Structure formats: structure tokens, C-alpha cells
Amino acid sequence: MRILVLGGDGYLGWPTAMYLSQRGHDVGVVDNFSRRLWDNELGAESLVPILPLQERVDLWKELTGKHIDVHIGDLNDYTFLEPIVRDFKPEAIVHYGEQRSAPYSMIDRRHAVFTQVNNVAGTLNVAYAIADHVPDCHLVKLGTMGEYGTPNIDIEEGFITIEHKGRTDTLPYPKQPGSFYHLSKVHDSHNLMFCCKIWGIRSTDLNQGVVYGVETDESKLDERLRTRFDYDGVFGTVLNRFLVQAVVGTPLTVYGKGGQTRGFLDIRDTLACVELAILNPPKQGEYRVFNQFTEQFSVGDLALAVQETGKACGLEVTIDNLANPRVESEDHYYNAINTCLLGLGLQPHYLSDTLLESVIHIVQQYSNRVNPRLIQPAVNWRETGSK
């Protein structure tokens, strides 16, 4: 299939592009390198050194004989996006092309507005380009489990049947997102459901959990194909960050009590989920939601798991419960349904000591690149402006 990967230079976009290319799809990637720009802004850098996108693509060609198309530009510029969609005629678009950090969106007003405008308007452009030029194309949109917040009832996959005063309807699942970034994903979800309804286009909203890991089958071909790995307080997701802290010997930074429970998945499962969605598209006009995670953990449990595995690797790992910079429940009910992707055949890679150990080994390989100062949380949800 012809597949366009938006945000194809990013943590998940690049491995997805390789995975789909390896499996015989005709892949094009779109990116404006804003993720690299935000690194410059924050004085941060991927722990794993990453090549320029163009060099990665050349290397991929050299190693596999497979070509990946590259388009450099901004989804918010319709004069850039439209001809790509019109000419490449994708049968599926995988959309990672958004600002994806909650803390980044909470830095101050400017970053909040930027995140919402960038994500919402960019996605509207993608939807219009599909409706205008490739109405059969399947938009596989990355959402987040964080759209749901932590309700006191089970989290269903996008919709919930409600009985109320003797009547019944199946309605969009109520959303309680916890940052301006998460809010932008909720806005996208509402917009896309509407676009499918009025134009008859089709979309799968993948409400993804927190991704961990770095190596995929494709990156094993050559270290230089590895994707970025973030450990800083703004873009580093929790488990990856803990593993870096374990290696460099600083305490794991658990926010608050650590009872925050979330869905998690291995980076290899992200790739498999995306392809399963592509190979099993919704029908025209359908908007559907899959909850994309394989296991639920509390942050505190993850810290303990890293501590234990660290010990087995000869590392002394301590845990620090910091004042929580976020406004969130630290002790709550959490049970989310994730049967759709399993039903399509997902074979999960569950979190195991082996995985934790293998990531620790990669982190050790680059440990001289760690800047511990970047790991501390610097963005406070309660303030309107952070330094």
C-alpha cells in the first residue's frame, strides 16, 4: 500500500516508516524537524545520536534496497501539504505529526497556544487534503489514552453506551484530559469524528498509552538506524526516563505518591498496532477508536521494577517522590479496555526484565551523553509561566 507517515523523523514516526517499508509498503515521510528544533530550545538532545533524516533514508536504501520518499515542510502550510497528498495518493496516512509533550504545552501561554493551534489546525489540513484528493484514504491518527483522564468507571474504546432516565444511546466517551497537549488530542478527536460524518472519509483514532523501548527489528540492522530516545523532563516519557536515571545513578523521579496508573506498550507493539489498523480499515464514513496499550502500571510500580532490574544489572537505584508538578489524582481507579487491537491479532510484547535490561544496555552505551540537569521537572501545571 502507499502510506504517508506524518512526523516521520520522530521517536515513533521513523521506526514506523522503516517497519512499513520493510513489510513491502510504499512509504513516504513528512516532517518539518520541529522536534529537533524543540531540542535546541530546551538545550536537550536524544540520548541515542540520530542521523539527519536524509542520511537515515539513504542508509535504509543501502541496507534494504527500499526507497522512502522524504518531504520536508509543515502540515500547517496547506500549500505544502496539498500537493503531496494529491500526487502521492496515499491509501493510508499515519499521523504522528504533532507536538506531543504535555510539559512542553504547559510551559507558558505561548507554548499552550502553539501546541493547540499546531496540532488542531495541522490535523484539519490533513482531513481536508484527504477529503479533497483521496477520499478513500484511511487516516490513522495518533491520539492518547490521556484523552480520557482517570474516570471512576471503566474506560471503553472511544464510545460508551449510556442508559439515562429510561433511554439509551451510544455516545463519545467523556474526556478529561490533563494538559493543553492532551486537550489538543481531544479537539482532534472531535474534529475527525465530524469530518468522517460530513465527508464520508474514514479514520482510526489510536488512543495510545505511554510507549517505552527503543530497538525494533529494523533498527537492529544497523545502530545508525536507531530512533531518538528522550529522557529529559519535558519530552522523556516515564519509563525511558527511569531507565536513564537508573544508569547514571540519580534517583528515579516519581511525581507525588506514584499511584498514577496508565496504559503502557512496547515500541514494537506501536508499529504492529499501526499496521493492524491499516490492514483492517474502517468502512467509508466511519470514525473508530482503538485503545492502544498492552498493560497498565502505576508509576510507583514501574519505579520498583526498574529498581529491581537495576539491582540485577549491578546498579544501585533509589527512588525520589517529588512534589507533583502536575495537577492529577495520585490514587484513583483505572481500568481501560483494549480488546480491539488484540481482536485484530496483536501479539503483545509484555514488559519483562529482558526488555528493561536491553534498554539499560543501550542507555549504558550512551551514558556519557546524559545531562542529569535536564531530567528534573521544570514545568509546573499550577503556574501560568515556567522558566
Catalytic residue among 123, 185, 204, 231: 185
Catalytic residue among 104, 181, 231, 287: 181
Residues with Cβ within 8 Å of residue 179, at least 6 apart in sequence: 102, 103, 105, 106, 146, 326, 381
Mark 256-272 as b/e (b = at least 16 C-beta within 10 Å): bebbbbbbbbbbbbbbb
Residue 136 in contact with a copy of itself, rule: CB under 8 A? no
The whole-angstrom separation of Cα 375 and Cα 232 is: 4
Considering the complex, state which of residue 124 and residue 370 has its C-beta at the smaller distance from a copy of itself: 124
Segment contacting a copy of itself by CB under 8 A, of 9-17, 26-34, 147-155, 215-223: 147-155
181 is catalytic: yes
Q: By CB neighbour count within 10 A (0-12 exposed, 13-18 middle, 19+ buried), where does 319 fall? A: middle
Residues with Cβ within 8 Å of residue 163, at least 6 apart in sequence: none
Considering the complex, state which of residue 199 and residue 366 has its C-beta at the smaller distance from a copy of itself: 199
The whole-angstrom separation of Cα 337 and Cα 157 is: 6
Report the candidate in 148, 169, 167 with the shortest Cα–Cα distance to residue 157.
Answer: 148
Q: Closest distance between a copy of itself and the C-beta of residue 339, in Å?
A: 14
- Which of 2, 36, 64, 151 contacts a copy of itself by CB under 8 A? 151
**26 in Cβ contact with 3 (< 8 Å):** yes
- Which of 62, 198, 314, 368 contacts a copy of itself by CB under 8 A? 198
- Which of 72, 153, 279, 312 contacts a copy of itself by CB under 8 A? 153
Please state, in angstroms and as integers, the Cα–Cα distance from residue 84 to each residue in 261, 314, 336, following that order.
40, 51, 37
- Which of 41, 77, 136, 176 contacts a copy of itself by CB under 8 A? 176
64 is catalytic: no
Q: Closest distance between a copy of itself and the C-beta of residue 176, in Å?
A: 7
Residues with Cβ within 8 Å of residue 383, at least 6 apart in sequence: none
The whole-angstrom separation of Cα 367 and Cα 248 is: 7
Give the footprint of a copy of itself on residues 66-125 (CB under 8 A).
78, 109, 112-113, 116-117, 120-121, 124-125
144 is catalytic: yes
Q: Closest distance between a copy of itself and the C-beta of residue 4, in Å?
A: 18
Give the footprint of a copy of itself on residues 328-367 (CB under 8 A).
333
**317 in Cβ contact with 278 (< 8 Å):** no
Catalytic residue among 144, 150, 204, 294: 144
168 CB-side CA count, 13 A: 3
Q: Which residues bind a copy of itself (CB under 8 A)?
A: 78, 109, 112-113, 116-117, 120-121, 124-125, 128, 131-132, 151-154, 160, 162-165, 167-169, 171-180, 183, 186-187, 190-191, 193-194, 197-199, 327, 333, 381-382, 384-385
Give the catalytic positions in this structure: 144, 181, 185
